[in-house]
């Protein structure tokens, strides 16, 4: 089991741009390698423990003999337990961020002073020295993320016509079960520039480097294999990795923070003053929406992750405990 843990954690560290493909989960849960390793270590222990305290259901003299179906059930149980531990860690990180938001001191933009501790400012996003061009919609942005879902076959690409962002993007949708099992989603590019938060009293600069920014997926565009992506996506792909953007079929997903968006920023004010990251304050959060919307966002995320962790973890343990002879087995 230790080899399985090393393999899973090693793959995650090697490809830290990989995503689950579930938009709801990817924009709410982002575990650092250390916490991910701990979560998968707990999952590995929970998968091994029922058999260590009971029996192994395969091999001569065991109730299921050499059935391959049993091995599949063991793998499924382990995956469910791993998913539960991942969601539980996600609930914990969101709870930590939510506590930081609640403990921060709400303040107006004009009243921010350097070294004033953990503060919270909400207002309208205003550019400072320029903006970025979003790769799918082409809109102005102070931050964007670009994810790609690599699709095995062109037939699996969405068929709807572009409807968002000057006719170049599609409304984001839900990933199907087949897509989650077969297709691969990864982070292709992420860029951010300093911006200001403006309220009725004035404005305060924000340096978003190092911040946890929670963005909603705003536009998507399918690109068949050997087809040229639309601009400005094609240029952005060449700038990012230098690879041929026509190589694989993919759906590119964009998440943006635009000028004029309402946003809440939690961080530390330094010289300028500018809200930024600080080693003494582990939480630096940028969340679209006002104070009430941010509160609702965190509450729903924590509840959703906790519920998902309970369902998947309990189901996986039930399968493993049944196979190990600790209880009545359905089959």
Dump pLDDT digits (tens) for 180-204: 445 678 888 999 999 999 999 999 9
What is the pLDDT at residue 91? 94
Tell which residue, 189, 181, 172, has the closest CA to residue 151: 181
d(CA 5, CA 299): 31
How far apart, in whole angstroms, are the C-alpha atoms of residue 28 and residue 22? 10
Residue 21 pLDDT > 90: no
More confident residue, 323 or 5: 323
Q: What is the mean pLDDT of residues 93-122?
A: 85
Q: Which of the pair, 253 or 18, is modelled with greater confidence? A: 253
What SS3 state is found at 118?
strand
User: What is the chain's mean pLDDT, rounded?
Assistant: 79
Task: Pull the structure tokens for residue 296.
Answer: 């609702």
Q: Distance between CA atoms of 76 and 309, rounded to whole angstroms?
A: 15
Q: How confident is the model at residue 62 (pLDDT cuts 50, 70, 90)?
A: low
Average pLDDT over residues 112-141: 88
* Residue 177: pLDDT band with limits 50, 70, 90: very low
Give the residue from 137, 158, 170, 134 showing the smallest Cα distance to 224: 158
Percentage of the chain lying above the pLDDT 90 cut = 26
Least confident span in 189-203, 272-286, 289-303? 272-286
Q: Is 146 helix (H, G, I), strand (E, B) or coil?
A: strand
pTM of the model: 0.74
The label of the residue with tokens 């000028």 reads 259
Does residue 270 register a pLDDT over 50? yes
The region of weakest confidence among 101-105, 210-214, 246-250 is 246-250
Q: Which pLDDT score is estimated for 17? A: 53
Q: Is the pLDDT of residue 226 over 70?
A: yes
With contact defined as beta carbons under 8 Å apart, do 282 and 242 qualify? no
Assign 35 a pLDDT band (cuts: 50, 70, 90): confident
Q: Retrieve residue 329's tokens.
A: 């087995």
């Amino acid at each position: 089991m230790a080899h399985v843990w090393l393999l899973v954690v090693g793959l995650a560290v090697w490809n830290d741009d990989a995503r689950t493909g579930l938009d709801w989960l990817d924009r709410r849960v982002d575990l650092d390698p250390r916490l991910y390793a701990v979560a998968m270590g707990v999952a590995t222990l929970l998968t091994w423990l029922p058999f260590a305290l009971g029996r192994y259901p395969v091999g001569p003299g065991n109730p299921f003999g050499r059935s391959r179906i049993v091995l599949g059930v063991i793998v499924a149980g382990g995956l469910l337990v791993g998913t539960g531990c991942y969601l539980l860690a996600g609930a914990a990180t969101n709870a930590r961020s939510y506590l930081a938001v609640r403990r921060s001191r709400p303040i107006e933009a004009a009243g921010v002073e350097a070294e004033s501790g953990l503060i919270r400012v909400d207002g309208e996003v205003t550019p400072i020295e320029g903006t970025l061009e979003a790769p799918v919609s082409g809109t102005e942005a102070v931050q964007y993320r670009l994810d790609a879902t690599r699709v095995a076959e062109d037939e699996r690409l969405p068929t709807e016509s572009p409807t968002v962002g000057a006719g170049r993007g599609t409304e984001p949708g839900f990933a199907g079960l087949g897509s989650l099992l077969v297709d691969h989603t990864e982070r292709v590019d992420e860029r951010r520039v300093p911006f200001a938060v403006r309220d009725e009293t004035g404005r305060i600069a924000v340096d978003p480097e190092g911040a946890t920014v929670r963005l909603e997926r705003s536009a998507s565009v399918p690109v068949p294999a050997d087809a040229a992506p639309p601009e400005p996506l094609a240029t952005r792909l060449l700038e990012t990795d230098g690879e041929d953007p026509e190589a694989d079929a993919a759906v590119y997903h964009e998440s943006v923070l635009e000028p004029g968006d309402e946003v809440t920023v939690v961080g530390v004010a330094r010289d300028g003053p500018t809200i930024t990251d600080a080693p003494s304050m582990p939480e630096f959060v940028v969340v679209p929406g006002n104070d009430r919307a941010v509160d609702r966002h965190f509450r729903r995320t924590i509840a959703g992750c906790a519920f998902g962790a309970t369902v998947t973890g309990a189901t996986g343990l039930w399968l493993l405990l049944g196979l190990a002879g600790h209880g009545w087995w359905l089959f």
